[in-house]
Amino acid sequence: MIIDTHQHVRWHRRDEDGLVADLDEHRIDRAWLLTWENPPPEDTLSYLKALNPEHLRPDGSHPGLPLSDVLAACRRYPDRFVPGYCPDPRVSNACVWFENAVAMHGVRVCGEWKFRMLIDDPRCIELFRVAGRLGCPVVLHLDPPWIADRETGKLTYQAWYGGTTENLERALVACPDTIFIGHAPGFWREISGDADASPEVYPSGPVAPGGRLFRLFETHPNLWADLSAGSALHALRRDPDLSAQLLTTFADRFLFGRDYYGGDLLEFLHALPLASEVMEQVLSKNAQRLVPPRLGPYE
């Protein structure tokens, strides 16, 4: 069995039928469908070509990947999708909205958390603790606020989500009963000890010793990670031997996920010297442990 733990629907010009066709092509059994709430002040033009025009606002802004699309796909394919949802923590009563989604619509995952606010903001901590109490893992998108300038090395401001690994660690400590699933460039760049000095959002080249990810995994058992998007695959390709070691050492905390379509990640994983039991954990068993199978309609 293969479970894609980081997926979206009705984006990149494919609806749920197109997504299921892609799952079938790559022999993927189920997928977690995640939302991404995109408030008007955070609208990013770079994503517009990927989004559903049905939700275009009159002012030209777009709400992102709403819960309504996730639920529509789950109703059509209840045996293929697991619903996820993360409200904007800055909205009044965000925790109640999440609890309502769990109770009314069978939401099993709090995600994708992707907002331009710090992960350890008290409003986020409150939401994360509720998710932990309800047994829902939290999928985090992390991008640092500063990247080293290519010419001067000076840290320069960029579009960001969540903050740094220091913010992440404070959230891990504040919510010990919540499982956090790390994702995105700001998370995966920390595989290398020279992340702070890299001028690239997606650093390349050899992995330097001392990457913060290793210490975070060793210190915090509630930190997991998915292998989705170009950020994870790019990081793992920097040093396949080290990546195999990382996946083996923490085999019980990594999740297969794509955040897009295609079979590049599967091909890469099969090329690594991973034991069969490690592959089984990464491809499905860890996901089943976090979100046990439960078939049924999503009302």
- Global pTM? 0.95
Share of the chain above pLDDT 70, in %: 97
Question: In this predicted structure, what is the pLDDT of residue 299?
Answer: 39
Strand segments, DSSP code E, in 87-192 are: 110-113, 138-141, 146-148, 155-157, 180-183
Question: In this predicted structure, what is the pLDDT of residue 297?
Answer: 44
pLDDT at residue 85 is higher than 80? yes
Q: What is the mean pLDDT of the chain?
A: 94
**Which band of pLDDT confidence, cut at 50, 70 and 90, is reported for residue 83?**
very high
Residue 166 burial by Cβ neighbours in a 10 Å radius (0-12, 13-18, 19+): exposed
Give one DSSP letter per residue of 199-262, joined into a string: --SS--SPPPS--HHHHHHHH-TTEEEE--HHHHHHHHHT-HHHHHHHHHHTGGGEE---SSSS
pLDDT tens digits, 18-68: 999 999 999 999 999 999 998 877 766 678 889 999 998 888 888 999 999
Distances (CA, A) of 148 to 118, 119, 192: 20, 22, 15
Question: In this predicted structure, what is the pLDDT of residue 296?
Answer: 46
Indicate the pairing of strand 64-65 with strand 36-37.
Answer: antiparallel
pLDDT at residue 268 is higher than 70? yes
pLDDT tens digits, 184-202: 999 999 999 999 989 988 9
* The CATH classification of domain 3-290, taken from the options 3.30.750.210, 3.90.1200.10, 3.20.20.140, 3.40.50.720: 3.20.20.140
Question: Is 2 strand, coil or helix?
Answer: coil
Residue 107's Cβ-side half-sphere holds a number of Cα atoms within 13 Å equal to 27
Amino acid at 79: D
Q: Lowest-confidence range among 58-72, 112-126, 241-255?
A: 58-72
Question: In this predicted structure, what is the pLDDT of residue 41?
Answer: 74
**Which band of pLDDT confidence, cut at 50, 70 and 90, is reported for residue 97?**
very high
Average pLDDT over residues 131-135: 98
Q: What phi and psi, each to the nearest 5 degrees, are found at residue 99?
A: -60, -40
